[in-house]
């Protein structure tokens, strides 16, 4: 993880200023994680089509995540690093997931209805996230083939998670 001096330098403030707003580096990480999750939720959940069929809802989630990731490259990397760092508290993770409860419920219902593969929601979520990130990486490398990669990514995703 980054030092507080490098964080302050990137933010354009003095290191001591960080601690005016955050009691510690750990608190800063929790708040940054929640800020990034709220940003992602704003992009993904604003018009979530709760009444659409499973495929349409999953395509919505996929397209919104990919669009957010392409528009917020640094934020996407930071949230991934924070998630993997071991620094984010379970309570913070739970708070970060609250805006996505409709997606989690959709996945649970999809498993129960036999549409989605019978697997833990955390497993299905990881598969979705990894395919979205792979799509983002390919779109970034070959922007002229963006639409093809987005379509291919969703095709692979749907086949990977359906029963």
Q: Which tens digit of pLDDT belongs to each residue from 80-138?
A: 999 998 989 999 999 999 999 999 999 999 999 999 999 999 999 999 999 999 999 99
Q: Which tens digit of pLDDT belongs to each residue from 142-160?
A: 999 999 999 999 999 999 9
Report the alpha-carbon distance of residue 49 to residue 13 in Å, rounded: 41
CB of 124 closer than 8 Å to CB of 143: no
Report the alpha-carbon distance of residue 82 to residue 148 in Å, rounded: 30
The three-class DSSP label of residue 155 is helix
The three-class DSSP label of residue 116 is strand
pLDDT > 70: what percent of the chain?
91
Class of domain 24-161: mainly alpha
Where are the chain's structural domains? 24-161
**End-to-end CA, the chain:** 39
Report phi then psi at 162, rounded to 5.
Answer: -95, 150
Model confidence at 3: pLDDT above 60? yes
Q: Which tens digit of pLDDT belongs to each residue from 4-32?
A: 676 667 667 777 776 777 777 788 888 88
């Amino acid at each position: 993880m980054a030092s507080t001096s490098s964080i302050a330098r990137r933010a354009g403030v003095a290191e001591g200023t960080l601690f005016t707003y955050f009691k510690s580096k750990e608190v800063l990480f929790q708040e940054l994680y929640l800020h990034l999750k709220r940003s992602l939720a704003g992009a993904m959940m604003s018009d979530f089509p709760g009444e659409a069929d499973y495929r349409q809802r999953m395509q919505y989630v996929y397209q919104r995540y990919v669009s957010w990731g392409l528009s917020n490259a640094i934020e996407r990397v930071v949230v991934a690093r924070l998630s993997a760092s071991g620094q984010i508290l379970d309570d913070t993770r739970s708070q970060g997931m609250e805006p996505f409860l409709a997606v989690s419920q959709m996945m649970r219902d999809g498993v129960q209805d036999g549409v989605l593969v019978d697997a833990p929601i955390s497993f299905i979520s990881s598969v979705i996230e990894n395919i979205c990130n792979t799509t983002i990486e390919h779109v970034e490398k070959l922007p002229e083939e963006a639409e093809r990669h987005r379509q291919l990514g969703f095709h692979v995703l749907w086949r990977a998670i359906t029963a």
